[in-house]
A and B are shown apart, each in its own frame.
Chain A
């Protein structure tokens, strides 16, 4: 057998074991809860106007998607390392020719695959309900126009455009992509913290706090850069903040999607770039911490 110092096959073996481990912990039961929430939100409040009905459905569904992805990213990732250490499975894995960075990458990839697949399934369910609701709302609205005798081709086209903008578009999927990218950054952060943490609870609490701070990072940075400190200190504080806490505000495009606004390609590029930067940065630091860890 030839040994190679980097093996995608080994990383995939670890990732698939992580996915199976998490799936058998019944983590994906959340999917069922999500479907109930989406269907409930989709067909509740039929007396609202068409725009409000579709907005509410998107609002509730995106909220559930965010909760699912952030909770899995923090809790599942925080559990992985301590559990392997407590169960001594880490000893049997690392006593094989497996570099420590491959172990970390495998674990991270496993969590990301789980979140990704979960989000895709939820996106499919969400899109189906949204499309169904959109079709029903459109039919009802055209019916109402006809009853009032004002169903002119212009009025119907305007209604079509209006409902279509609030209904199922590529924007909805970009919103789901933004949620996935944010969850990826949070998972990498949780993995980094668990490399030096002494307990799962500590990892969960700290990651949760940093996630909250990360959502307001741009506000805090703005405060520091408004002349409260000298130039060098400002720069240092700003850099430190950007390194320690991820700028999660970059991923907040969901409100635009709910309001039917377009997600620009520049925003998508910024989100992808930011995710890549934090994933690489946190993974490198995780490796440096984990390689020194006494097992």
Chain B
């Protein structure tokens, strides 16, 4: 039996360059220079970089919202210039807004119809998405009354509605409080478990670190680092040993062992492990409920 053809990468960006033309007498702005990256199916890929580094431009090119000046982008093997490539994509833009005159359910019905969904299937799926994103109580509420976090979750619901194989998230936690941000992070973890490919940009590096398999760091329109997260953040010549309930005597013995039989190894630091400020905030606010 012939082997099945390997599935194409979820996202391919090949030598992408994007130049924005300026007005007469002004210099053109190069937003992305000769960028290449690949995201494999089922992977969570984080694209990070300072403001103006070209992350959003890259995402828009992948989604076919911008046409590349040079190079090409594709989704599951289909060029981003083809409308059909968007069948498999759900997109959450940074700080999304929706038609204010629609309520939560109507918004999802609207986006579902754009994806050729209809009837009872659509209604059931829309309700399921509202439940999944914790917005079931806001189904009949006008979007104009939604908080930033609710808008972000509604954005996620519309992105997931048609069961895409790839989800593109542009700053999904921008302007959201830590609890809302954690909820979004948990949703991304859920996508990963379900085998959905995720391409995400965020300024919250800790969150990227928590959810991503691979990371690309962009600066001035170029990819400056790229690779598996563990490889990128591992300090080659250091080893971490975390002990729970260790007695002072045991710690003293370990120190002595290092000093006497370490063979050049030295203890860099020791002390209590620290939680993150985000975890502390969440624990404290959960306790007061």
Contacts and interface: CB of A to CB of B under 8 A. Distances in A.
Interface stretch (B85-93, B133-141, B256-264, B268-276): B85-93
Interface string B161-176: 0100000100000000
Interface of A: 1-5, 7, 9-10, 13-14, 17, 20-21, 24, 87-89, 91-99, 292, 294-295
Interface in B87-112: 87, 89-91, 93-99, 101-102, 110-111
Contacts of A14: 114
A96 B111 contact: yes
A7 B116 contact: yes
B97 A95 contact: no
* Chain A facing B: main interface SS: loop
Nearest to B117: A1
Contact of B115 (A1, A21, A87): A1
Contacts of B162: 1, 96
B97 A3 contact: no
B232 interface: no
Interface residues of B, number: 35
Contacts of A10: 113-114, 116
B87 A3 contact: yes
A93 B65 CA distance: 11
Most chain B CB inside 10 Å of its own CB: which residue of A24, A92, A98: A92
A17 B112 CA distance: 13
A5 B83 contact: yes
A74 to B, nearest CB: 21
A15 B71 CA distance: 35
B98 A97 contact: no
A212 B163 CA distance: 50
B114 A295 contact: no
A92 B91 contact: yes
B221 interface: no
B97 A88 contact: yes
B66 interface: yes
B61 to A, nearest CB: 10
A97 B99 contact: no
B109 to A, nearest CB: 9
B44 interface: no
A99 B116 CA distance: 13
A13 B122 CA distance: 14
A3 B118 CA distance: 13
B155 interface: yes
Interface in B140-182: 155, 158, 162, 168
A76 B11 CA distance: 39
A48 to B, nearest CB: 45
